[in-house]
A and B are shown apart, each in its own frame.
Chain A
Amino acid sequence: MFSIVIEAFQYSSDFLSTFGGCMSSTEASSGANPALPVIEGWFTMDEADTHLIGSRCKRCGTYFFPGNVTFCRNPCCESDEFDAVPLSREGTIWSYTDAQYKPPEPYVAADPFEPYAIAAVELAKERMIILGQLAKGITVDDVTTGMQVELQLQTLFTKDGQDYVSWVWQPKI
C-alpha cells in the first residue's frame, strides 16, 4: 500500500558552527552611506563572520528562520520563549538553479539585468534548508548538489545611492 515517504535530511559533515560574538551589527561598507540590510534583523552585518539570525525554542530546541516567531510551531511544544541564535554559516547544497529573466518587484534589478544563481543549502545542525543567491559570478556550472558553501555578505542592489546587502552562498574552495 501507499506510504508516506520520509525524506530524511542528509548529514554531510560533522560541521561545527562558529558561535562567535556575532550578534552585534557592524557596517558592511565604509563611506557616507553605510550599507543597509535588505531585510532588517535577518542576518548580521559583520562581513568577516556573517550569520543568519534565527530563533531557537528554549524548550524543544527547534530552530526557526526567519526568527520572528512568537509561539513554537512544533506541535509537541507549547513554548513561547526563544533565544536569538546565529545559524551555521556553512552548509551543503541541496539543489540550485538560476534566474535568467528579471523578477518582478519588489526585486530591484540592475539595468541591464544580470542573471544570478540561487542555492538551497542544508544546515546540518539545524536540520533545515535555507535559500539564497549564490555569490556574484558563480553560475550553475560552478556548483553541484552536495557541495560545501559558506555565507557571505554582498550588495544586492543600490537604490538612490544607498547600497542594500544580503547574504549569499559562496562555494568553499
Chain B
Amino acid sequence: MSRDVVILGAGMHPWGKWGRNFVEYGVHAARAALKDAGVSWQDIQFVAGGATMRNGYPGYVAGATFSQALGWQGNEIMTCYAACATGSQALAAARAKIQAGQCEVALVVGADTTPKGFLAPQKGERPDDPDWVRFRLGITNPTYFSLYAQRRKDVYGATDEDFAAIKVKNAEHGFSNEFARYQKKFTIEEVLASPMVASPLRLFEICATSDGGAAVVVASKEYADRLGSQRQVKIGGISTVSPKFASADVEMPDIATDSAAASNAYSFRASIAQKAYEEAGVGPEDVSLAEVYDLSSAMELDWYEYIGLCAQGDAEKLLRDGDTRIGGRVPVNASGGLACFGEAVPAQALAQVCELTMQLRGEAGDRQVSDAKVGVTGNQGLFGHGSSVVLLR
C-alpha cells in the first residue's frame, strides 16, 4: 500500500491573450499555489514542469526554467511533455516521487504562451510527420472535433441546439470565474448565429488557444498533517494510459485509424478514466463533479460517456435534463471549461485539478458545487496522450 499523496495548494494565472512570456504565468501560479499551501519555496524538494513547444528552449526545460525564475535552491527538477495530458503526467511524476519516499513536498507547474489563430505544425517540408501531412491535406484540429460532432448528430440524434446549449451552460458556469478568459454569458441564438467553422461546429463552439498558467503543491499526507493543513485534497488516482491496439478513435494528427483486421477495436478515450477510478476505488456513480476537455462543445457530450456518467448515446439526455449544470446531479465543467478558458496546453490538465481542488474544499464561490466529495478530470490530445485524475475530499 503506497502512502497517500495530497494537494496542499493550488494556484493559477488568469487565462487570456496577454502576449507575455510563459515563465511569468508559471511563476505567478507557482507563488499562488505555495501561498495557498502555506509552504515556502525553499522547502520544495522537487519541481515537475510541463513543457511548452512554442516558446523555445526555456519551454523544453520548463522544470528548470521555473526553478531558476523562483530562485535556484537545489531542488530536483524534471520536465515532461504529453500534449494535453502534460499537466497530469507532471503531477503523476511528483506523486510517484512522494510515494517512493524520495521527497515529501513537490511543486507542479504548467504555463503557455500561444500564437493567434489555428494551431499550426512546425515549419518546413516534413512529409514523414503526420502532423505536417494532415495540414498539407487541409485537415485542421476542428476537422477532428467536427467529425465526432456530426457522428453524434447522425447516430445519437444530437442537435445544433444541444451543441450550443453546452456553450451556454459553460459560459454561465465560468461567468464569475476570475481565472477564465471569457466571462460572458451567451444565448443559444447567439451561439447559433456565430460563423460556421467546420460543419456542424460554429466559432463559439470551438475552443480558442490561450495564455495561462496553473500550479499545485503536492505532499505526503504525513507532511501535510505535520504542517497542520486542514484543506487537504487527496489524489485518489491518476491515469496516463496509452491507447490499446487497434485504436478505433479518429485521432489527431492521424489520417487513418489503426486497422482492426487482426485485432479487436478499442476506444482509447473511453479507457482513460477507468484506471483513475480503479486506483481511487470509486466509480462514475460516486462522482460529484467533472472537468472534461470541451475542445468543442460537442466533445463534452462524448466525455459524459467516456468517463461513465451515462451510457453511450445517452449524453444528450443528460444535458437536456440539466444534470450537468451546477445544481444538477453531476455538474460538468463548473470552471467554465475550455469554452471559457481556451486551451493553454501544458497548463490545462493542471487547471482542471485546480478547479476540483477549490470545489472539494468548498472554496469555489459563486460556482460552488454543493457537497462535492469526488471529482474527476478527463482530457486527451495528440499522439496517444490522455489523462484522468480523481480527487477525493
In the complex the two chains form, is A127's CB within 8 Å of B250's CB? no
CA distance A156 to B139 in the complex (A): 13
In the complex the two chains form, is A2's CB within 8 Å of B308's CB? yes
In the complex the two chains form, is A1's CB within 8 Å of B198's CB? no
In the complex the two chains form, is A5's CB within 8 Å of B305's CB? yes
CB within 8 Å for A97 and B150 given contacts A40-B127, A61-B262: yes
Is A155 in the interface zone, CB < 8 Å from B? no
Residues from 151 to 169 in B contacting A, C-beta threshold 8 Å: 151, 154-155
Chain A residues with a Cβ closer than 8 Å to the other chain, count: 57
A133 to chain B, nearest CB (A): 6
Across-interface contacts of A95 in B (CB, < 8 A): 147-148, 150-151, 154, 250
Of the candidates B118, B245, B271, B274, the one whose C-beta lies within 8 Å of that of A103 is: B118
In the complex the two chains form, is B143's CB within 8 Å of A126's CB? no
Interface flags for B174-213 (1: CB within 8 Å of A; 0: not) read 0000000000000000000001111111000000000000
Across-interface contacts of A97 in B (CB, < 8 A): 142-143, 146-147, 149-150, 198-201
CB < 8 Å A-B pair total = 181
Across-interface contacts of B283 in A (CB, < 8 A): 1-2
Interface flags for B125-146 (1: CB within 8 Å of A; 0: not) read 1011010111111111011001
Of the candidates B132, B196, B248, B277, the one whose C-beta lies within 8 Å of that of A2 is: B277
User: Interface residues of B toward A: which range?
Assistant: 35 or more
Interface flags for A32-66 (1: CB within 8 Å of B; 0: not) read 00000011100000000000000001001111111
Across-interface contacts of A3 in B (CB, < 8 A): 274
In the complex the two chains form, is B261's CB within 8 Å of A6's CB? no
CA distance A130 to B264 in the complex (A): 18
In the complex the two chains form, is B138's CB within 8 Å of A144's CB? no
* B12-20, B21-29, B86-94, B251-259 - interface stretch: B251-259
Interface residues of A (CB under 8 A from B): 1-9, 38-40, 57, 60-66, 68, 73-77, 94-101, 103-107, 116, 118, 120, 125-133, 140, 144-146, 156, 166
5 tightest Cβ-Cβ pairs between the two chains A and B: A97-B146, A104-B120, A145-B154, A63-B259, A127-B260
